[in-house]
Structure 1
């Protein structure tokens, strides 16, 4: 086939995808890490085109946070709006979420805000806008990604492999971990103590 990551074979532990590459190598994909990278690249492309679509929430969500975290996020209202996340103050330590990035489908708005607050807190000193956006895009992508422990249908596995092949930087997730490993026949023979 013309697919470098090959044909799906199975899913193991509802976390890893096995495929056989055209050269016979065994490909093991971390489904969460791979999907996280793909989601981040999609969000980044939308952002660069100036079109991260928002999804207004039918019922806005109130998120209670420590006052410092709430203040930090509210100080980033403009940055977050550029990413499709619309928030506003809602009393001491509370934030009202009116819209989320449409690409996130069914996000946990409270968890997302807590993660973003943590991301900005870990950054410490005020970051340049570009660094803030990069950090926020990575967090958004992680939130939206297929989780380990989720059973995938064969069609979903195939779609994941094909999208990985078409996406730049798909070999690592947003955190720098590999999204897949490729074991050649020689690698497998070595693991089993066979001589080639």
Structure 2
């Protein structure tokens, strides 16, 4: 049940309009079908995560030189592979030079990976390239980092939201892909229809 953009003709939007904030955690909203219950933190985390991903993909990988380049001893075969894959590594934001028959020097990383230990990262990327000719390692780590940033920057429990803030989040959800699930795969909202509510 992905939230869709608001409908035409003045009808209530899919996720409705906020009517209350329950225990500082859940948004209660009324739509044309009944009562919508939204986990505010999980929903805001998903919206933030999708925005961060879009921004990251739009601007590409921004690199940051290492203050102290990482010197990594590898096999000659791995060094050959790194040399042959220099263009791919550069697209991943990894500035790698061969500085000896079995030695690589990593001079830059993607800015978002500034806190990552460069040696195991480079070894893992080379292992992926040796095995499959491609690597998703940097992308996976980037997505994990973006998810972490989204979690830490999202609405926290017990923060009281105004009606305007709640409605803004509902509209953001309607405009965001996969907003019906949090970053961990759990539903961000549920609907109790009028039929559900009318049950004795």
One fold, TM greater than 0.5?
Answer: yes
Measured after TM superposition, the shift of residue 188 of structure 1 is: 1.9
Alpha-carbon distance between aligned partners in 1 of 2:61 and 2:47, rounded to the nearest angstrom? 15
Measured after TM superposition, the shift of residue 131 of structure 1 is: 1.2
Alpha-carbon distance between aligned partners in 1 of 2:140 and 2:60, rounded to the nearest angstrom? 19
Given the alignment of the two structures, is residue 15 of structure 1 paired with residue 25 of structure 2, yes or no?
A: yes
Bigger Rg over Cα: 2
Secondary structure at 1:129 match in 2: helix
Q: Assess if the C-alpha contact under 8 Å between 1:12 and 1:18 holds in 2.
A: yes
Moved over 3 A (4+): 85-89
Q: Assess if the C-alpha contact under 8 Å between 1:4 and 1:165 holds in 2.
A: yes
Identify unmatched segments of 5+ residues in structure 1.
54-74, 90-124
Secondary structure at 1:49 match in 2: helix
Alpha-carbon distance between aligned partners in 2 of 1:140 and 1:52, rounded to the nearest angstrom? 16
Q: CA RMSD in A?
A: 2.7
Q: Assess if the C-alpha contact under 8 Å between 1:31 and 1:146 holds in 2.
A: yes
Measured after TM superposition, the shift of residue 22 of structure 1 is: 2.1
Length-normalised TM-score, structure 2:
0.58
Measured after TM superposition, the shift of residue 177 of structure 1 is: 1.1
Alpha-carbon distance between aligned partners in 1 of 2:194 and 2:22, rounded to the nearest angstrom? 20
Of the three residues 26, 48, 52, the one matched with 2:57 is: 48
Secondary structure at 1:183 match in 2: strand
Alpha-carbon distance between aligned partners in 2 of 1:51 and 1:162, rounded to the nearest angstrom? 27
Given the alignment of the two structures, is residue 159 of structure 1 paired with residue 168 of structure 2, yes or no?
A: yes
Secondary structure at 1:145 match in 2: coil
- How many residues are treated as equivalent by the alignment? 130
Identify unmatched segments of 5+ residues in structure 2.
1-10, 63-105, 118-126, 129-135
Alpha-carbon distance between aligned partners in 2 of 1:35 and 1:52, rounded to the nearest angstrom? 24
Secondary structure at 2:182 match in 1: coil
Length-normalised TM-score, structure 1:
0.60
Of the three residues 109, 126, 131, the one matched with 1:78 is: 109
Q: 1:165 to 1:88 in 2, by over 3 A?
A: closer
Alpha-carbon distance between aligned partners in 2 of 1:8 and 1:178, rounded to the nearest angstrom? 18
Q: 1:44 to 1:7 in 2, by over 3 A?
A: same
Measured after TM superposition, the shift of residue 49 of structure 1 is: 0.2
